[in-house]
Structure 1
């Protein structure tokens, strides 16, 4: 009996020990469960933060891709502008050459015009000198014709008074007849020279 009571007591002690151990294990399990839940929640928060960071990184990647695309477009536009600038520079140089050629042509034409004007002025001066000379010669010829006409008239008068009135009438008529052709010839020559002089002027 004593042996059976000892066994029962020992068994109860073992049961209590097992219950205490089981309680400890339950408490530890509960603690581990709470810690596991906390870790899971923390892990979920960490995963959410990582997902947010991934979204941010994706947004940054898209922004960088857009910036790269914009930069490529700007680079192409800059290349186009550089090509247009080269074309404009070539056109500008061509216009400059054209302006220089036009300026040279204008300078040449002005110089030629100046030379022609100088030549024209010289010809005008020569013509004026010739006109003055011809006018002087014409005046001399007119004076000579007038002097000859006066001399002929005086000669006819002197001859008529020397021969008498009757003879002087005949002589005067014949002298005037002989003198008039000379005067007429001189007058015709004078008119011809005046015509030539007028055409030269």
Structure 2
């Protein structure tokens, strides 16, 4: 599987930990096929509990908006059909993976694809960036951002744009074409001091393992 064909997703939630009872309140996702956005998914969902004033301020999502939203069960059932076993990407993927697994557990679904993390990859290839928060990286790469961060679909769209730029720079900087998902996962786990040596060692135009 190529790294430019996957589902980019983002959750907004009631808090930081599903283990402590936090729930998803919004999911946004874009589907990439060969580097092109071909589909989108966005939905608010009612978690069955009120959200705090901090979360309302942080996301712009209100309790009134969620009162009219479909249940988490309904939205996540639809989302399971949307991703259909695809590989997945998120910025700070460990956070989104926890909530995806938790919400899927509640409806008897399992995550069949693998996760990649754009934050981990950015830490390897943009080591001089001020930090690796999504908004900072969008500014760092001069990506136009006309929307509100911390809304799920917008964050997923921005993550997708950042991801494609990183893949393109790996291509132009190191001559690596047809970058595989498995190679990106390996690169994201490589110690920072060894990243350039790893990339420089690939003279083939195809990295498919």
Bin the TM-score by the shorter chain.
under 0.3
Structure-2-length-normalised TM-score:
0.18
Q: Which has the higher contact order (CA 8 A, sep 6+)?
A: 2
Q: Which of 1 and 2 has greater Rg?
A: 1
Between structures 1 and 2, the one with greater strand share = 2
Structure number with higher helix proportion: 1
